[in-house]
Chains A and B, each alone.
Chain A
Amino acid sequence: MTAPALTELGVFQVFTGGGTGSGFLIEPTLLVTNCHVVAPYRQVAIELRDRTRVLGTVRRISPQRDLAMVELAQPLPGEILTIRPGDDLEPNQPISIIGFPVGLPLSITDGVVSNPRQLLDGQHFVQTDAAINPGNSGGPMVDDERRIVAVTTCKLRAADNVGFGIPGPDAQAFVDGFHSQTAPFGVLCPACDALLETAERYCQHCGTDLASLELATYFDPPDLHPLVEFVETALAGAAVDPVLARHGHHNWSFYSGSAPIEIWSCCSEHLCFASPLAKPGKQQLGELFRFLLAADHAPMAFDLDDNVIRLVLTLHITDVFADADHAELRAWIARFVASADRFDNELHATYGCAPAPTTQLTFWKEQAKP
Chain B
Amino acid sequence: MAITSLSFATPLRRLPAPRRLDYGLLEAAMAHAEAGATGDAVAGVLGHLFPDAPVPDLTAGPFAFVQGSSRVTVALDGDALAVTVPLVTLAGARNPVAALRYILTTVAGSGQLYQPRLRGDDITLEFRDKLSRMHPAKLLEVLRQMPVEADRVDDWLETEFGARPLERAPITPLDDAEAAAADALWRSHWADVEELVKESQRRRSVFFLNEVTALALFRVQFALPVCGVLAAQLTESAGTWNDGQQDPTKREASLARCARDMAALPAATLRANLGHAAYALAPLAPGEAATLTSYFGGGDYLSAIDKYRTSGRSFEATLALWSSTTYLLARYAWPPETAAALMGALAAASGKPWREASAVLWDKLRAVAELFGADAADGVGPDDDDDDDDDDGDDDDRRAEDDR
Contact = CB atoms under 8 A, between A and B. Distances in A.
Given A270-B111, A286-B97, A295-B119, A316 B104 contact: no
Contacts of B137: 269, 316, 318
A269 B137 CA distance: 9
Interface stretch (A41-49, A150-158, A248-256, A297-305): A297-305
B4 interface: no
Contact of A286 (B100, B103, B105, B109): B100
A303 B117 CA distance: 11
Contacts of B123: 293
Interface string A61-73: 0000000000000
B99 to A, nearest CB: 9
Contacts of B59: none
Nearest to B142: A316
A285 interface: yes
A224 interface: no
Interface stretch (B12-20, B42-50, B127-135, B331-339): B127-135
Contacts of A304: 101, 104-105, 108
A314 interface: yes
B69 to A, nearest CB: 21
Interface in A267-312: 267, 269-270, 272-274, 285-286, 289-290, 292-295, 298-299, 301-305, 310, 312
B113 interface: yes
Contact of B100 (A289, A298, A316, A319): A289
A319 B133 contact: yes
A160 interface: no
B211 interface: no
Contacts of A267: 111
B132 A285 contact: no
A285 B119 contact: no
A292 B130 CA distance: 24
A104 interface: no
Contact of A292 (B33, B104, B128, B141): B104
B101 A289 contact: yes
Contact of B108 (A266, A301, A322): A301
- In which size bucket is the chain B interface? 20 to 34
Interface SS of A by simple majority: mixed
Contact of A293 (B110, B113, B116, B130): B116
B90 to A, nearest CB: 9
B235 interface: no
A299 B117 CA distance: 11
Nearest to A309: B104
A293 B118 contact: yes
A35 B116 CA distance: 47
Nearest to A319: B133
B132 A325 contact: yes
B117 A298 contact: yes
Given A289-B101, A293-B116, A302 B138 contact: no
Contacts of B103: 293
Contacts of A269: 137, 141
A324 interface: yes
A176 B60 CA distance: 76
B36 A303 contact: no
B112 interface: yes
Contacts of B101: 285, 289, 304
B97 A316 contact: no
Contacts of B119: 295
A294 B132 CA distance: 26
Contacts of A302: 104, 108
A312 B110 contact: yes
Nearest to A272: B110
B133 A324 contact: yes
Contact of B109 (A298, A312, A322, A324): A312
B56 interface: no
B130 A285 contact: no
A314 B104 contact: no
B108 A295 contact: no
A272 B111 CA distance: 6
A99 to B, nearest CB: 30
Contacts of A295: 117-119, 126
Interface of A: 266-267, 269-270, 272-274, 285-286, 289-290, 292-295, 298-299, 301-305, 310, 312, 314, 316, 318-319, 322, 324-325, 328
The 7 closest A-B pairs by CB, nearest first: A289-B100, A318-B135, A303-B108, A295-B117, A293-B118, A301-B115, A304-B104
Interface of B: 33, 36, 96-97, 100-101, 103-105, 108-113, 115-119, 123, 126, 128-130, 132-133, 135, 137-138, 141
15 contacts: A266-B111, A269-B141, A270-B113, A274-B110, A285-B100, A292-B100, A295-B118, A299-B128, A303-B110, A304-B101, A316-B113, A316-B138, A319-B133, A324-B132, A325-B130
